[in-house]
């Protein structure tokens, strides 16, 4: 079935690293995504990783993919108050003829001084 | 290049009415998808269009419909509104025919009274 799971809440101190975790179900998913949503806004694409990669780094963001365990993580280095938002993990299932993203419930990141 | 635009941004309707939401994709993008976001259900896929054809539909009642025009702009319609239709409706566009990264608009927030 389709199910992407994330922890719901993460609190970190400003300047620390944040790690948001996600598990997905479709082993055939070719792309996995991280989106950010600030209050009252739409979804902002942060980064994505192709399934044949283990890691992708983009400035303060590092994505790690463990395909065997179907586990995806997003690390934000030097977390700032502006990083406070909801972060969604999403997969694009490659099976069943789908043309849609399957989202997790989102992880609310709270950054405190 | 301008991003995905959605109009209107906010809408208040009463039960039984109908509503039409509009989405203009990023220039050159031919695929448009619609998602509903609610606190209880999270992000749920509504439908996806490519070159004026609906390729995939989510598990929503027939009151929810959509279409895509030759310029790739898309509209979705909800008839006989119910209180539970109150949500943020997000449109996303992507470039091509196959799985592609989706870019989201700011959403239309619909409140049904």
Q: Three-state SS across A42-94?
A: CEEEEEEEECCCCEEEECCEEEEEECCCCEEEEEECCCCHHHCEEEEEEECCC
Which chain A residues touch B92 with a CB distance below 8 Å? 43, 101
* B90–A103 CB contact, under 8 Å: no
Locus of tokens 């990669």: A53
The interface residues of chain B toward chain A in range 6-65, judged by CB-CB distance below 8 A, are 6, 31, 33, 35, 42-43, 45, 48, 50, 55-56, 58
Q: Give the CB-side neighbour count of residue B25, counting CA atoms within 13 A.
A: 28
* pLDDT given for residue A3 in this prediction: 81
Q: What percentage of chain B reaches a pLDDT higher than 90?
A: 89
* pLDDT given for residue A31 in this prediction: 86
Nearest alpha-carbon partner for B48 in A101, A64, A84, A41: A101
Nearest CB partner across the interface for A30, out of B6, B56, B99: B99
Nearest CB partner across the interface for B107, out of A42, A45, A103: A42
* pLDDT given for residue B90 in this prediction: 97
Q: What is the pLDDT along chain A (113 residues), one digit of tens a residue?
A: 468 999 999 999 999 999 999 999 877 777 899 999 999 899 999 999 988 889 999 999 999 999 999 999 999 999 999 999 999 999 887 665 566 889 999 999 999 99
Between residues B55 and A98, the one the model is more confident about? B55
Which chain B residues touch A33 with a CB distance below 8 Å? 101
Cβ proximity of A76 and A18 under 8 Å: yes
Asked which of A38-42, B95-99, B109-113 is least confident by mean pLDDT, the reply is B95-99
Chain B nearest-CA distance from A74, in A, is 18
Between residues B112 and A113, the one the model is more confident about? B112
Q: Is the pLDDT of residue B54 over 60?
A: yes
* pLDDT given for residue B53 in this prediction: 93
Chain B nearest-CA distance from A42, in A, is 4
* pLDDT given for residue A40 in this prediction: 87
Cβ proximity of A51 and A105 under 8 Å: no
- What's the token pair of residue B108? 């239309």
Question: Rounded mean pLDDT of chain B?
Answer: 94
* pLDDT given for residue A95 in this prediction: 61
Cβ proximity of A57 and A76 under 8 Å: no
* A33–B106 CB contact, under 8 Å: no
* pLDDT given for residue B35 in this prediction: 96
* pLDDT given for residue A93 in this prediction: 77
* pLDDT given for residue A111 in this prediction: 97
* B90–A33 CB contact, under 8 Å: no
Characterize the bridge pairing of strands B103-104 and B74-78: unpaired
Nearest CB partner across the interface for A45, out of B6, B58, B103: B103
* pLDDT given for residue A55 in this prediction: 95
Q: What percentage of chain A reaches a pLDDT higher than 70?
A: 93
């Amino acid at each position: 079935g389709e199910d992407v799971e994330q922890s719901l809440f993460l609190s970190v101190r400003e300047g620390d690293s944040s790690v948001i975790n996600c598990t997905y179900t479709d082993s055939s998913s070719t792309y996995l995504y991280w989106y950010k949503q600030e209050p009252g806004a739409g979804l902002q694409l942060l980064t994505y990783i192709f399934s044949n990669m283990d890691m992708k780094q983009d400035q303060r963001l590092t994505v790690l993919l463990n395909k065997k365990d179907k586990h995806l993580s997003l690390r934000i280095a030097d977390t700032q108050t502006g990083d406070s938002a909801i972060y969604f993990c999403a997969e694009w299932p490659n099976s069943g003829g789908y043309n849609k993203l399957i989202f997790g419930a989102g992880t609310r990141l709270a950054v405190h001084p | 290049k301008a991003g995905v635009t959605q109009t209107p941004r906010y809408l208040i309707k009463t039960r039984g009415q109908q509503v039409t939401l509009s989405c203009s994709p990023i220039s050159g993008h031919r695929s448009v998808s619609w998602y509903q976001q609610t606190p209880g259900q999270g992000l749920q896929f509504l439908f996806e269009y490519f070159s004026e054809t609906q390729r995939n539909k989510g598990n929503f009642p027939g009151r929810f419909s959509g279409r895509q025009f030759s310029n790739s702009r898309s509209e979705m319609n909800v008839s006989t509104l119910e209180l539970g239709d109150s949500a943020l409706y997000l449109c996303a566009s992507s470039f091509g025919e196959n799985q592609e990264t989706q870019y989201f608009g700011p959403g239309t927030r619909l409140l049904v009274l």
